[in-house]
Amino acid sequence: MTLESETVLSNSSSLCSYQIYLEVAVFVLLLALFKKWINGGTVTKRRDLTNEVIIVTGGNSGIGFETCKDLVKNGARVILATRNEQRGQRAVDELNKIRPNSTEFMKLDLGDLTSVRLFANEFKSKYNKLNCLINNAGIAAISKRILTKDGFESQIGTNHFGHFLLTHLLFDVLKSTPQFRVINVSSRSHIRFCINLDDINFERTPYYRFVAYSASKIANILFTQQLQKNIQDKNLNGKTVSLHPGAVKTEIGSHFSYYKLVYPFILPFALLFLKSPKAGAQTTLQCVYEDFNKLEGGKYYVDCKVTPTANKENITPQNAQKLWDLSVKLLKL
């Protein structure tokens, strides 16, 4: 081989490796842009939350934990309300590392109305104001029809009735706090099925896990609309909104059968196609940080913006009133 042909060969092989680097760089850039698109909208501004008291239900994991982190960084006093003391305390320790004495754990099991009452009493014995209640906790797609301690189907019992009672019991503190907010974390799953207000606990109709989840998330939106109407009718200085956080990589799917078995196989897809928990917290945070005057009470937010709900058949003022009356009756309020 001549010197000339050796030079040509080495030039073409370095050209080839440059091309590979370039291709990898373009691939990584495209991947990053795709992930940014998947992660969706982000909070546009923040405000100082010093002296504000905020309850986050289900604040120990997923979207709730990321929400707490941001609130703590911005000065809020956070009450982490969740059922598992050990997991709750671990999250509180993490949050207090971000800002010492910022967060307190208070036990709350939304599937047990006695626990909800005990929580409300404990909170009111310690605090005389509540700037924001974030009804975030939730369970999804429970495979069998199981009942809460008080006889409600578990998903509607936890996701709706538990939060309904909690909001009701805390309402005197909320309404005495100027510009109070109630933020209800619903889901886009509300568009898939319907809510049967004549058989809310699936006593006479067959139970399907996704139908029950969807119904509980429709209930979150109906509750928001009726609560906002009541706030307005009584001329109170507060607002309530509901939201969809996006499809987020959290522990919410851990109830699925074979979850542990299939998890390693779906992980790469989950990492690519699902929002990170931090991204999933953005819409909740937008509703906390938005100027009070600009927050649109009663509305449903997606990706940090007001979005029309697509389930027009089920999301009606009549259903909102009917669910409210049913909840008052079944909870004996």
Ligand X SMILES: NC(=O)c1ccc[n+]([C@@H]2O[C@H](COP(=O)([O-])OP(=O)(O)OC[C@H]3O[C@@H](n4cnc5c(N)ncnc54)[C@H](OP(=O)(O)O)[C@@H]3O)[C@@H](O)[C@H]2O)c1
Binding site for ligand X (CB under 6 A): 57-58, 60-64, 82-84, 87, 108-111, 136-140, 158, 185, 187, 244-245, 247-248, 250-252
Q: How far is the CB of 295 from ligand X (least distance, A)?
A: 20
Residue type, 169: L
* Least CB distance to ligand X at residue 163 (A): 9
* Minimum gap (Å) between residue 171 Cβ and ligand X: 19
Kindly tell me which of 87 and 175 has the beta carbon lying closer to ligand X.
Answer: 87
**Which residues make Cβ contacts (< 8 Å) with residue 95, sequence separation at least 6?**
68, 69, 72, 78, 80, 102, 103
Specify the residue, 15 or 89, whose C-beta has the smaller distance to ligand X.
Answer: 89
Give the integer Cα–Cα distance in Å for 103 and 279. Answer: 22
Q: Considering the complex, what minimum distance in angstroms separates the CB of residue 242 from ligand X?
A: 11
Residue type, position 81, single letter: A
Residues 282, 269, 308, 256, CA torsion sign: negative
Question: Closest separation between CB of residue 10 and ligand X, Å?
Answer: 52
Q: Considering beta carbons, is residue 47 or 149 the nearer one to ligand X?
A: 149
Contact by Cβ (8 Å): 306, 300? yes
Helices (H), the chain: 3-39, 62-73, 85-98, 113-126, 154-156, 163-175, 209-233, 259-273, 277-280, 282-289, 317-330
Q: Which is nearer to ligand X, 49 or 248 (CB)?
A: 248
**Per-residue tokens: 35:** 């992930």
Comparing CA positions, the residue from 236, 217, 194, 41 lying closest to residue 136 is 217
Give the Cα separation of 217 and 208 in Å (integer): 14
φ and ψ at residue 181, rounded to 5 degrees: -130, 140
Residues assigned a catalytic role? 213
By beta-carbon proximity to ligand X, the closer residue of 42 and 179 is: 42
Provide the 3-class DSSP secondary structure of residue 180.
strand
Closest approach, Cβ 183 to ligand X, in A, equals 11
Yes or no: say if 107 and 148 are a contact pair by the CB < 8 Å rule. no
Q: Return the number of the residue (259 or 321) whose C-beta is nearest ligand X.
A: 259
